[in-house]
Structure 1
C-alpha cells in the first residue's frame, strides 16, 4: 500500500510475482575473482536475487518500490538514517541538532564527500533535493512528511556545509521526517522539469558505496565499487541484483551457488536447515500485516459487525498457516509494530469467541452475512491468510468470497472509493515515530484506504505531533492505538520477519546492518571470508 507515497512511508503490499523466469546466471564460482595469498580465488562479486525488476531509471524523488529503493540505497546516501531515538546512523551529515523550541533543525555536513563523477558534495545539493521533493508536480514520495499543518518546511543553506530546516510549527516527529531522504546532485539535475521521467535517471550519479554500471531488462542491475566512498572503499568489488521472478528457481540458484542471497518464504526455510553453504538471517522490518475493512461498503459500516468479525478470527491459526514457525513472526495487536516509539499491546485483543461473534451479529441484525475479501492472488502468504480467514468466519455463519487480484490492481482499487470487496489484506512498513502512521488513519489522508474516520483520532494525532512532554505524548498515542483497535476497522494480524538466505562465506552482515526495505544499511561493509 503506499508508504513511499506518504511520509517516510514505505507502505508495502508484499507481492511476489511468481512468473516463470529462467535463471540465466553463471555460477559465482565463475564470477571474476581476486587471488588470495595461497593462490585460491576469492569471488569479487556479490549477486543478490530479487523477484522484481527495478527498471532502467531510478531517482531519489519518485522511486518508491522495494527494489528501486534498494538500488537507490546502493548508489546514493541520505543525511542520516533514523532507526530509533537512540539509533541514528549518520551518512552525509555529521550531526542534526534541534533548537530548544523544536522549530529549527541544523544539519552539519561532511566535507570529504565526492559525487561519483568527482564533483564535490555541498549544502547546495541538500537544499536542491528537498526543494524538488516539496514540488507537488514531482510526485515525491516524502513530500507529505515535509508538510506541517499544510505548510512546507523551509530549507536554507547557511554555508557550504551547513543546512537549516525551519518548521512552520512544532512537530515532534520532525527529526525522523527530515531524515532518510537520499540526496541528489544539483549539478546533474538542475534545470530538469520532469525529474521522474528524466533521461538522466538511466545513468544515476550518487555518493553511495557503489556506482551504477549496467542495467539489462528482465535480467540484472550491476554496480561497481566506489573507491572514493566517504565511509571507506567497499570490500567487494561488484554487486549484481539478479532478477529471478520465480521463487523456486531462485532457491535452486542459491543452493547451487549461482547467487549469494535471496529473501525466501518461511515455507522454504527447511530447505536450508542443514546447509553449510547458506545461512538464514531472519530480521524484523517493522512490518504490520493486517485485515482491514473497506468502509465504503455498507456491509461493514456497523461497528458491531466489524467487532463480530474480529471475534471470529484466530490469529494463531492464520499466522501459523502463513508463516510456519514462530521464529518468523509474532502476533500483532496494535497499529504500531513493537519497534515503534510508544507501542503498546494494552488494546482490545479480540480473543477468539465465536459465541460472542454470533451474538454481535444478531444484535446488529446481520444474519446470513456475505462478504468479499480482496487479496493479492499470487502472494503465497496472503493466499494462506485468506483461506484461514474464510474458514474462521464460516464458523460464525459468515460467508466469505475470496477475490484474488493482481497486486498493482489491488493497490489501485484500494486507493479509490469502491464496493468490489468489503475487506482486504495488506501490510505496511512505516517509520519509528507514531506520527508517521497518521496518514493511514486520519480522515481523508493519502493512505487511508479504509476510508476510516474518527474525529477523536484526528484530534489526538494533531495533539501528539506538537506535544513536547514525553509522558503526555506517550499517553496520547496509547489512546490512539486503543481507539482504532476498538473501532475494529483495522485488525492487526502479524509482525513478520523477512528471511534473508545468504552465502555463508559472506561476512560483515552485522556491520552492514539488516534494515527494512533496503536489506543492508551500508553494503560497503560486506566481504567474503
Structure 2
C-alpha cells in the first residue's frame, strides 16, 4: 500500500487516520471479552481513496461481489463477532460476549446495550433474529444461506431477552463463529420483506439516507461512476478512553475509477491518499518512495488471502448450450481441466504480472492462512507435454493444422473473459490464453465490466471461461458455495 504524506488540509494526520481505519476493522469485534478502548489520537480531516467500479447493491444480504461488500462490510454494517485483522483472532462485535454448551451445539450471545442504528433506533435481539429469518428465506437469493446451512438444516435462532440471543445448531460446526453475517435493521426492512419486496430494497438507486447500519460510517452521497461519500456515524457505539466516538475520519470520499492505471495516476498527482500498489508499478514506486524528500511511503502489509482462479462453465442450465452443446463435454472432462492446470505458467505470471510478489496456490486455502494451509496436495506444475498427454487421455486429438479437436469432432474454441480495468488480470488472461493456444485451442480473450461478468457467472450462466478472484478469509468454509 502507498500513502501520501502531505495531503495538507484534507487530513490532520494520515498515519493516524490509516491506523484508525485498521482499528475500525479490528477493535470492534479471540476472547469473548470486550475490546480495550483505544487511546485518543487526532480526529478530523478527509480521507480520499479509489474503488474499481460501482457497487451493485447496498444490501449486505443480497451482495455477491466485492465491488459491493468492500463499500459497506465493517463500515456500514457489522456482525456479532469480528476478526482481528492482525492476529486473526475472534473478537466481540455487536455481541459483547458469547458462550457454548459442552458439545458446541447451543450458543448464547450477549448483545451490547449501547448500540444504536445510525438513524438513532436501538439495536436489539429482534434485529439478529430478523437477519437470520431473511437469510433462510428461500425466496431471497443470498449466498449467505449456503454457509449457514449445516447438514442441510437451519440454525434455530431464539430471543432469550432484549439483549440475549440463543442459537441452536443441528450438529457441532467448527466454522460457525467465523461466519456470522452482517446484521440488518428490522425496523427498516421488515415490512419490505413481508411484502415480498426485500430483493429490491437498498439498490444503488436508493437515497443514501435510507440505508441504515450500526457501523462507524454512513453513506452521505453516491454518484454512480463518480464517487461514494461516507461520513462518521454520530450514533456509533465504540469510543476512545476519553469517550470520543470513532471514527477518526470525518469524511471519506471513495472515488470510482475505471482502471488501476487511473488509481496510480491520481495517487501520484496527490489526489488520493492511499492505494494498493499495482504489481507492474511496484519497483518504480518503491524506488521513488526511497528518494530524498519523497512525499509518499510504501508499506508492506504482507500476503493477502486473495487468490485468482479460472472457472469453466459446467452448468447444464447454460442458455447457450443448445447452440454448442459440446462445450459442456469439454469443460466437464477431468482430463481437459487437468491439461489447463498444467498449462498455467505460474512462474511467468509471478514475475511478469506480480513483480515477483506472488506465490502459486495449489488449493482453495491461501498461503497466509496458517490455521488451515496444507502444502501436501496435488500440484499441477507448468508442463505443456503433460498437458498434451492429459488431453489425449481425455479423447482429444489434433488435426493436420495442429488444431485441438474434441472427442465430438469440434475444434476447441471458446471465449475467455476477465474484468476490464484490472490490468493484472488482463495480463494473466493473455499469458494463460497464449499457452492454451500453444496446445491448439482457439481462445477469444475479452475484458468486460466487473458486475456484468459476475452476473454472467452467478445468474445468467452464459459464459465459457472466466478468470476471476476470490478475496477469501481465514475460514475456508465461507467459500463453500463458490
Per the normalisation by structure 1, the TM-score is: 0.67
Q: Report the Cα distance in structure 1 between the residues aligned to 2:149 and 2:43, rounded to whole angstroms.
A: 49
Q: Report the Cα distance in structure 1 between the residues aligned to 2:332 and 2:218, rounded to whole angstroms.
A: 52
- What does residue 443 of structure 1 align with? none
Question: Once the 2 structures are TM-superposed, how far is the Cα of residue 227 of structure 1 from its aligned partner?
Answer: 4.4
- What does residue 291 of structure 1 align with? 310
- What does residue 342 of structure 1 align with? 372
Cα–Cα, structure 1 residues 283 and 32, in superposed 2: closer, same or farther, change >3 Å?
closer
Cα–Cα, structure 1 residues 43 and 253, in superposed 2: closer, same or farther, change >3 Å?
farther
- In the alignment, structure 1 residue 324 sits paired with structure 2 residue 355: yes
- What does residue 426 of structure 1 align with? 468
Cα–Cα, structure 1 residues 33 and 173, in superposed 2: closer, same or farther, change >3 Å?
closer
Question: Once the 2 structures are TM-superposed, how far is the Cα of residue 389 of structure 1 from its aligned partner?
Answer: 2.0
Q: Report the Cα distance in structure 2 between the residues aligned to 1:98 and 1:42, rounded to whole angstroms.
A: 39
What is the aligned counterpart of 2:441 among 394, 399, 411? 399
What is the aligned counterpart of 1:314 among 342, 345, 361? 345
- What does residue 387 of structure 1 align with? 430
Question: Once the 2 structures are TM-superposed, how far is the Cα of residue 79 of structure 1 from its aligned partner?
Answer: 1.0
Q: Secondary structure at the match of 1:136?
A: coil
Give aligned pairs, total.
401
Q: Secondary structure at the match of 1:190?
A: helix
The question of whether the paired residues in 2 share the 8 Å contact of 1:272 and 1:279 is answered with no
- What does residue 186 of structure 2 align with? 186
The question of whether the paired residues in 1 share the 8 Å contact of 2:107 and 2:167 is answered with yes
- What does residue 468 of structure 1 align with? none
- What does residue 476 of structure 1 align with? none
Relative contact order higher in (CA < 8 Å, ≥ 6 apart): 1
Q: Within 5 Å, which residues of 2 pair with 1:10-409?
A: 29=8, 31=10, 44-54=45-55, 58-72=58-72, 73-82=74-83, 87-177=89-179, 179=180, 181-193=181-193, 194-198=197-201, 202-203=208-209, 204-232=211-239, 233=245, 234-273=247-286, 274-275=288-289, 276-281=294-299, 282-295=301-314, 297-326=328-357, 329-338=358-367, 339=369, 341-368=371-398, 369=404, 370-372=412-414, 374-376=416-418, 378=420, 379-395=422-438, 397-406=439-448, 407-409=450-452
- What does residue 38 of structure 2 align with? none
Q: Report the Cα distance in structure 1 between the residues aligned to 2:443 and 2:454, rounded to whole angstroms.
A: 19
Q: Report the Cα distance in structure 1 between the residues aligned to 2:352 and 2:199, rounded to whole angstroms.
A: 41
Kindly provide the CA deviation profile for residues 326-383 of structure 1, in whole angstroms up to 9, marking residues without a partner as x: 2xx1111112213174321212212333333334444444222234351216232232
Q: Report the Cα distance in structure 1 between the residues aligned to 2:437 and 2:218, rounded to whole angstroms.
A: 54
The question of whether the paired residues in 2 share the 8 Å contact of 1:287 and 1:429 is answered with yes
Q: Name whichever of 117-126 and 244-253 sits farther off.
A: 244-253
Question: Once the 2 structures are TM-superposed, how far is the Cα of residue 162 of structure 1 from its aligned partner?
Answer: 0.9
The question of whether the paired residues in 2 share the 8 Å contact of 1:102 and 1:170 is answered with yes
Q: Report the Cα distance in structure 1 between the residues aligned to 2:455 and 2:225, rounded to whole angstroms.
A: 24
Question: Once the 2 structures are TM-superposed, how far is the Cα of residue 404 of structure 1 from its aligned partner?
Answer: 1.4
Cα–Cα, structure 1 residues 383 and 254, in superposed 2: closer, same or farther, change >3 Å?
closer
Considering fraction of residues, name the structure with more strand: 1
The question of whether the paired residues in 2 share the 8 Å contact of 1:80 and 1:89 is answered with yes
The question of whether the paired residues in 2 share the 8 Å contact of 1:319 and 1:385 is answered with no
Q: Secondary structure at the match of 2:308?
A: strand
Q: Report the Cα distance in structure 2 between the residues aligned to 1:137 and 1:160, rounded to whole angstroms.
A: 28
The question of whether the paired residues in 2 share the 8 Å contact of 1:51 and 1:245 is answered with yes
Q: Report the Cα distance in structure 1 between the residues aligned to 2:354 and 2:384, rounded to whole angstroms.
A: 24
Q: Within 5 Å, which residues of 2 pair with 1:430-441?
A: 430-440=472-482
Cα–Cα, structure 1 residues 292 and 215, in superposed 2: closer, same or farther, change >3 Å?
closer
Per the normalisation by structure 2, the TM-score is: 0.73
Cα–Cα, structure 1 residues 201 and 341, in superposed 2: closer, same or farther, change >3 Å?
farther
Cα–Cα, structure 1 residues 201 and 160, in superposed 2: closer, same or farther, change >3 Å?
farther
Q: Report the Cα distance in structure 2 between the residues aligned to 1:108 and 1:249, rounded to whole angstroms.
A: 46
Kindly provide the CA deviation profile for residues 247-282 of structure 1, in whole angstroms up to 9, marking residues without a partner as x: 333322222222212334211234432233333344
Q: Name whichever of 424-433 and 330-339 sits farther off.
A: 424-433
Q: Secondary structure at the match of 1:231?
A: coil
The question of whether the paired residues in 1 share the 8 Å contact of 2:81 and 2:93 is answered with yes
- What does residue 457 of structure 1 align with? none
Q: Report the Cα distance in structure 2 between the residues aligned to 1:112 and 1:415, rounded to whole angstroms.
A: 39
Cα–Cα, structure 1 residues 188 and 302, in superposed 2: closer, same or farther, change >3 Å?
closer
The question of whether the paired residues in 1 share the 8 Å contact of 2:147 and 2:477 is answered with no
Segments of structure 2 that go 5 or more residues without pairing to the other structure are 1-5, 14-41, 240-244, 315-326, 399-403, 405-411
